[in-house]
Structure 1
Amino acid sequence: MRTARNPGVTDRLAHDLAEAEGVCVQPLLRRLIDRDTGHATVVILPCGSTRASRCVPCAEKARRLRMQQCTEGWHLTEELPDKPTATSDDDQGDGDDLVDELGERRVRSTRRRQDAPDLPRLPIEDRTVGASFDGRQGKVFRPSMFITLTLPSYGKISPGTGVPVNRRTYDYRRAALDALLFPKVIDRWVQNLRRAAGFQVQYFAAVEPQKRLAPHLHAAVRGAIPRALVKQVTAGTYHQVWWPSIDEPVYQDGDVMPVWDRDLAGYVDPVTGEALRTWGDALDDLDLDPDAKPMHVVRLGKQVDIQGIIAPSPDADRAVRYLTKYLAKSMADTYDDPYDMDTARQAHLNRLHAEIRVLPCSPKCANWLRYGIQPADPGPGLTPGRCISKAHDAEHLGLGGRRVLVSRKWTGKTLDQHKADRCEIVRAVLAEAGMEMQDRDRCAADQLSEDGLPRFRWEPIDVTQADYQTVIGHALIQHRTWKAQYEQAKALAANGPPGPVDSRSATTQPAATAA
């Protein structure tokens, strides 16, 4: 694939040109080998990143795919073919975890906390579509909702800056724990909302940071629910975490941390050699203590924004764009340039990250060693402060899970199926224009040779070993060819044949070369 370099074209210029035309700026090279014929071609593939800091074109494509997913399921008027049952898998206990993250059942009281208001509870109807309302001239309205949930205050914030007025009194520890456990309280909120509303409420939600760097949730909710009820559910929702206490770490920064003992298959104190308490023993002690309290209680904030949405309308389109606005950015750089951040903002981020880095994110987190407890299912190589979960990274600031939360009955499709829908539209337009289409399954993994093994084999090629400008150039040619064919096909469909049709396959790889 190598060609002579153009001395007037730099790698940066090639990068910027690709980005301007919506072409992946970090393409992957793969050698595709047909085991039956021995023929090999080099294929350019997009990197598929969802972060604009890595690849703007791929991140934008991923964001637009999420927009399609959100729009398609928000205002459904009929139930999906596979209707949900009245008993939801999400329908668990009121306030406590009855089953821990490892699947072990522990019996605890499900009595609601005395400091939390009671919530209404209705039989859950076997439906996911909201109620309809008759308007004038026989018009029927089926409104939906756009809801924003926040976390509580941890201290006064300087207006417009997102920086605490006083970092000494700002509750960074609570802010860090709330961020790490934010998905748990959102799950609880959905359960409570379904019980209070009396039907299987469906949602498409995105988790984003506020300027103060605390996560909050924007949710497109199908159907209309009284605003007072949504606020009541939000005020009464909490999640209790029954983990061992982390009030006092046993090992401080600078201490020699527990070490792995091969004979005991566990971690021991580096000085005495005594085995640390196991995760199961720590939970047993918690169960036997009549005065035990949850390690942490996560609650939602008082600020709740609720909007009624009717589709199709400009408000609905605007809400979808707003909901997916920051999906291409990480939690840390949503509001700031990571290379040119204000000093006060950087100090705030560093302080929050320092807390998140050493707090436990799950029963298997390596940070439990700081508190003299072996994490669940321990193994060699664990180091406190270096848990492998991305939740502890400065880029994620506590959110180790998915940024987009979609209920199972939103569209009844996976994200890959939505992507296939978009591809099918393009294929249909091209086919209607009479353009040849290659067999979409020609390289599929289920295409087998006579020996029963996959016919096609993919081998990675290190892009750094090839000329970056050449790879980008081939990718641009491929993109322009496909775009021209698609525009030509649309013109044919709209106006009839204006002239001869380019019959080249729309899926031919211009960059493919015999190996």
Structure 2
Amino acid sequence: MTEALSRAERMRMPLAREVAKAVAIENGVCIRSIPMRVIDTETGKSQTVYLPCNATLESRCPACAKRNRHLRMAQCREGWHLESEPVAETDEPDNYQRYLLELRADFQVMREDAERAGQPTEDLDLGLAELDAEIRAAGTRGQVVRATAGKRKRSTRRRQDAPDLPRRKMANTTLGRVYTSPDGKRYRPSMFITLTLPSYGRVRDGAPVDPASYDYSRAARDALHFSKLVDRFVQNLRRVAGYDVQYFASVEPQKRLAPHLHMAIRGTLTRADIRAVVAATYHQVWWPSCDVVRFDGDNLPVWVERPQQSGGDQDKQTGDYVDPVSGEVLPTWEEALDRLGDDEDAEPLHVVRFGSQIDVQGVLAGTRDADQCIRYLSKYLTKSIGGTIESEDRRRRDHAARLVEALRYEPCSPMCPNWLRYGVQPKNARAGMSPGRCKGRAHKPEHLGYGGRRVLVSRKWSNKTLAEHGQDRRAWVLQVLGIADDRNRGDAHRYVWRRVPEGDPGLPPLDVRLLHLVAQRQRWRRHLVELQARAEGRPADTLSAIDGRPCGQL
């Protein structure tokens, strides 16, 4: 009996590796660090360093997810209430960059001539791709894109059931209006907006009251195309505002698991204008019909390889899917769209709109409301949309399972294998596709139909990328520690970085690596706290945070 109890007690003891992970998380250390071997080509010496994985989800790495969340909060705070235009001065192109663009122009002309003459263009396409990569490596932003002929166009006439929007003259500014109070004080307020999707049925505590009457099909399609609706809202908002509206937005799940939008906007519009923009915003999905199932179960289209073509451009698609009974070749994605365009009575597959629930708040810089809104914007960034469901919440888990099933055969993109179910070949079809087995992000249970980006930031928000905000944070820490930043010493080519594979004889076990990083982090933190306390004339042992940030986040 004593031995049995002892064995049971030992089974309840936590594993040493799990304890090491818990300690690492508590100290803000990455638990999925990437081991890299850095070799000095001049001295021949090497050392192993551990780079953070930079995961954004808490389920993968809590420390990195929390660090990324704090960076997003800093990005939001820095760009929200600017008083001057965030103008970025770009460098003049150097001679090498000019040479590469001139060379690309020559290649482009040669390709166009070969295409007109019906000659093969594979080598020229490869050369253009290599040149584009070299142009980016030479320090240019953006991408040179070759214009494609015959671009499909659809009518831009607005729907009759959507109100028209006024178009105001655009001002060349990203700043909002300035208000002056009777005492002469100037204010430049901003806005915080929350937009939701419409109702699909009565909901209580995040789950449908009657699942049989809940419109899961519409909920699935709205989630799939929600990102396009947000893009259209921003376009309409800028037309009505009359200036280049800048925004920081996050897409988060409601309790009913539908995506909704929180958006911080620089400047203000009237609530009536915001409501008018929301009412007039919609997105039409002009895709082939997927309401009638043509192939299902064992009766699925069959892949047939095409004969090899000699000369000319090689098509990306090397075969076709055919009807398993008649052998008829299914229409390709482009052919299906052509048929849709030729049909004057065609209707869009789906129209997505916002719901009637709109929340608009005016916010001033430096107030508690501004800080609260920033925390609200980043509240769920470390969790997936499906990760907000508590394990004991059975009704919401069942609701999520029904939504996943409704999404199973919904096409999420032109390349989705689900198009085969409705008699259309997906764009760039390939062998092995099967309906209901799409690997797209939107079809994963943790995303619940939303496959877009969770954080949306306009280009002129803070005039910095997230990486640049991270560099600012690093520069602050190095400055406090009194360490020079040696990233721009000009000898970057002196070092060779190679990833150390798991199982390498020189790589310590994971728990040993974690404890090493914990000790390193604690040593840095103590030194940083001591320096900051000395600068402020306070004892180091009384300082638990620096600039309002917990030491574990440094």
Do they superpose with TM above 0.5?
Answer: yes
Residue 385 of structure 1 is matched in structure 2 by 436
Superposition pairs of residues 186-335 of structure 1, within 5 angstroms? 186-252=230-296, 254-263=297-306, 265-334=319-388
Shift of 1:389: 1.6
Shift of 1:448: 2.4
CA distance in 1, matches of 2:287, 2:43: 59
Residue 78 in structure 1 maps to residue 123 in structure 2: no
Residue 55 in structure 1 maps to residue 61 in structure 2: yes
Cα deviation per residue 1:260-313 (whole Å; 9 max; x = unaligned)? 222262222233332111111101111111110001101110000000001111
Shift of 1:468: 2.3
Residue 507 of structure 1 is matched in structure 2 by none
Indicate the SS of the match to 1:358: coil
Indicate the SS of the match to 2:347: coil
Letter in 1 for 2:365: A
Shift of 1:494: 2.7
Q: 1:287 to 1:457 in 2, by over 3 A?
A: same
Kept in 1: contact 2:415–2:428 (CA 8 A): yes
Q: 1:364 to 1:165 in 2, by over 3 A?
A: same
Residue 396 of structure 2 is matched in structure 1 by 345
Shift of 1:136: 4.2
Residue 66 of structure 1 is matched in structure 2 by 72
Q: 1:281 to 1:8 in 2, by over 3 A?
A: closer
Indicate the SS of the match to 1:137: coil
Superposition pairs of residues 391-406 of structure 1, within 5 angstroms? 391-406=442-457
Match for residue 448 of structure 1 among 493, 499, 502: 493
CA distance in 1, matches of 2:518, 2:54: 16
TM-score (norm 2): 0.79
Kept in 1: contact 2:475–2:485 (CA 8 A): no
Shift of 1:438: 6.5
Kept in 2: contact 1:29–1:463 (CA 8 A): no
Kept in 2: contact 1:391–1:397 (CA 8 A): yes
Shift of 1:169: 1.1
Q: 1:341 to 1:258 in 2, by over 3 A?
A: farther
CA distance in 1, matches of 2:363, 2:330: 55
Kept in 2: contact 1:177–1:359 (CA 8 A): yes
Superposition pairs of residues 173-188 of structure 1, within 5 angstroms? 173-188=217-232
Letter in 2 for 1:199: Y
Indicate the SS of the match to 1:228: helix
Residue 469 of structure 1 is matched in structure 2 by 511
CA distance in 2, matches of 1:203, 1:117: 24
Further displaced range: 39-48 or 57-66: 39-48
Q: 1:358 to 1:126 in 2, by over 3 A?
A: same
Q: Percent identity?
A: 50
CA distance in 1, matches of 2:279, 2:185: 35
Q: Of Structure 1 and Structure 2, which has the larger fraction of its residues in helix?
A: 2
Residue 159 of structure 2 is matched in structure 1 by 113
Kept in 1: contact 2:302–2:324 (CA 8 A): yes
Shift of 1:367: 1.3
Q: 1:256 to 1:460 in 2, by over 3 A?
A: farther
Shift of 1:388: 2.6
Letter in 2 for 1:440: R
Residue 508 of structure 1 is matched in structure 2 by none
Shift of 1:57: 1.2
CA distance in 2, matches of 1:44, 1:32: 10
Shift of 1:168: 1.1
Residue 452 of structure 1 is matched in structure 2 by none
Letter in 2 for 1:369: L
Cα deviation per residue 1:391-430 (whole Å; 9 max; x = unaligned)? 1100011121210001111111111111111111112222
CA distance in 1, matches of 2:163, 2:188: 30
Shift of 1:495: 3.5
CA distance in 1, matches of 2:397, 2:539: 59
TM-score (norm 1): 0.84
Kept in 2: contact 1:35–1:457 (CA 8 A): no
Residue 180 of structure 2 is matched in structure 1 by 134
Indicate the SS of the match to 2:518: helix
Cα deviation per residue 1:14-63 (whole Å; 9 max; x = unaligned)? 11111112212222222222333322211122221111112111111010
Kept in 1: contact 2:34–2:499 (CA 8 A): no
Match for residue 419 of structure 2 among 368, 388, 413: 368
Indicate the SS of the match to 1:306: strand
Kept in 2: contact 1:31–1:461 (CA 8 A): no
Kept in 2: contact 1:231–1:304 (CA 8 A): yes
CA distance in 2, matches of 1:13, 1:333: 24
Letter in 1 for 2:304: D
Kept in 1: contact 2:36–2:497 (CA 8 A): no
Kept in 1: contact 2:478–2:485 (CA 8 A): no
Letter in 2 for 1:468: L
Indicate the SS of the match to 1:138: coil
Letter in 2 for 1:284: D
Cα deviation per residue 1:69-110 (whole Å; 9 max; x = unaligned)? 000000011111249xxxxxxxxxxxxxxxxxx996323222
Gaps of 5+ in 2: 1-12, 90-147, 308-318, 541-554
CA distance in 2, matches of 1:395, 1:478: 34
Match for residue 31 of structure 1 among 27, 37, 47: 37
